[in-house]
Amino acid sequence: MYKVSFQTNCYAWVPKGYTGLYPGGENTLDYSLRSLAKIGYDGVEVDCVHILDTRLWMTSKEQRSLLKKAIADLGIEVEALSAHEWPLPYASFTSVDEESSKLGMEWTKGIIDLASDFGTRIVTTHVPNPQIRALKLLPGMPRGFLRGIGERGPIFGKPRVYTEEERGLMIQRVGECADYSKDRDVIFAIEEYSPVNFWKDFIKAVGSSALKINLHVGRVWTETYATKGVIEEPSLPEAVREFGSLIVHTHCMDYRIVSSMPPFTGQTTRPTIEVIPGAGECDYIAFIKALKEIGYEGYLTVECHRSDIPPEIQASQALQNMRRMISQATI
């Protein structure tokens, strides 16, 4: 039976957007962990915003071991840490821009250290665009104020064109993070998979045993729909088989096709809305069966971003659905 975890992003993401600069309201990391433990999750993936807001990545080793014990006492495990860079706009550990890559590398390695101290096996991140550049700030202006705005670059696995030089840089920097992870008994799971062959070749070129894939379920599905206009099942199980043992982490989200996207009244191009796993059109049973087939032993991590439904409701409904689908798929 697969263990299920929840990515705390949903708790950090309030209707106004991210929580802002500092922990606030009921959606702190502390609240999120308690809520998820109470709902019955086995594990949690701590979101990058929570890592930044709580200054978790700046804590001492002693503080970390106290925190680790406190979290274990709640009956929940930190199974993954998200090192996405969007709380730090214009940071990219693969950037050609020196300041941007310095910021990105410091952040990413800081989270790998944190994972090592927490005994967390997985650090996941997107491979950011090499073209992202550091923002020129006014003297004394903290970067956090600019969170969430500006160009984030073509992320989320959308097709993109890289020069050979940029690809070389990405291979070198991702390799640096993977090696850094390996030395600390951590796995560096990049949330990239499309196009499949690009990323398979990329991983081969990096050549580190600590470099693996975090497969985002809904993303595979919605991308087939966005690019081809049809869902060609079994696209999800195929993606699982293609990557096989490279998959060490999953993000479980679901999508539904809608006819229009409010507040736009007119027809938009192939609109989809995000729903909790099991409430949309992704074939989760086939997906979980394929995971079983390849011998996957990791977590199924629910990732929800809906800001119009309280996170507690999303988390408890998602857990019910996940447990039901897991038992249907693993009979």
Non-local (6+) Cβ contacts of 244 within 8 A are 294
Closest to Zn ion by CB, 33 vs 253, is 253
Q: Does 251 bind Zn ion (CB under 5 A)?
A: yes
Q: List the structure tokens of 293.
A: 């087939």
Between CA 91 and CA 101 the distance in angstroms is: 6
Closest to Zn ion by CB, 130 vs 157, is 157
Q: Where is 250: in which H helix or E strand?
A: strand 247-252
Report helix angle 98-118 to 61-74, nearest 10: 60
Closest to Zn ion by CB, 147 vs 251, is 251
CB of 23 to Zn ion, least distance (A): 23
CB of 281 to Zn ion, least distance (A): 18
Closest to Zn ion by CB, 147 vs 216, is 216
Closest to Zn ion by CB, 173 vs 251, is 251
Between CA 54 and CA 24 the distance in angstroms is: 10
Terminal Cα distance for the chain, rounded = 10
Between CA 309 and CA 276 the distance in angstroms is: 11
- Binding map of Zn ion across residues 269-308, x = CB under 5 A, - = no contact: ----------------------------------x-----
CB of 105 to Zn ion, least distance (A): 21
Closest to Zn ion by CB, 134 vs 236, is 236
CB of 190 to Zn ion, least distance (A): 11
CB of 174 to Zn ion, least distance (A): 17
CB of 192 to Zn ion, least distance (A): 11
Q: Does 249 bind Zn ion (CB under 5 A)?
A: no
CB of 219 to Zn ion, least distance (A): 7
Closest to Zn ion by CB, 133 vs 193, is 193
Listed ranges 28-36, 163-171, 178-186, 251-259: which one lies at the site for Zn ion (CB under 5 A): 251-259
* Residue whose Cβ sits closest to Zn ion: 251
Residue 274 burial (CB < 10 Å; 0-12/13-18/19+)?
middle
Q: For Zn ion, how many residues bind (rule: CB under 5 A)?
A: 3
Q: Return the residues of window 69-128 that contact Zn ion according to CB under 5 A.
A: none
Closest to Zn ion by CB, 117 vs 298, is 298
Non-local (6+) Cβ contacts of 220 within 8 A are 193, 194, 235, 236, 239
Listed ranges 66-74, 161-169, 248-256, 278-286: which one lies at the site for Zn ion (CB under 5 A): 248-256
Q: Are 270 and 224 in contact (CB under 8 A)?
A: no
Closest to Zn ion by CB, 133 vs 194, is 194
Angle at CA of residue 216, ends 87 and 55, nearest 5°: 25
CB of 280 to Zn ion, least distance (A): 15
Q: How far is CA 259 from the centre of its chain?
A: 28
CB of 126 to Zn ion, least distance (A): 8
Q: Return the residues of window 164-203 that contact Zn ion according to CB under 5 A.
A: none
Q: Are 300 and 4 in contact (CB under 8 A)?
A: yes
For residue 195, whether the previous peptide bond is cis, meaning omega lies within 30 degrees of 0, is yes
Q: Are 135 and 94 in contact (CB under 8 A)?
A: no
Non-local (6+) Cβ contacts of 111 within 8 A are 48, 51, 57, 81, 83, 123
- Binding map of Zn ion across residues 203-242, x = CB under 5 A, - = no contact: -------------x--------------------------
Question: Binding residues for Zn ion, per CB under 5 A?
Answer: 216, 251, 303
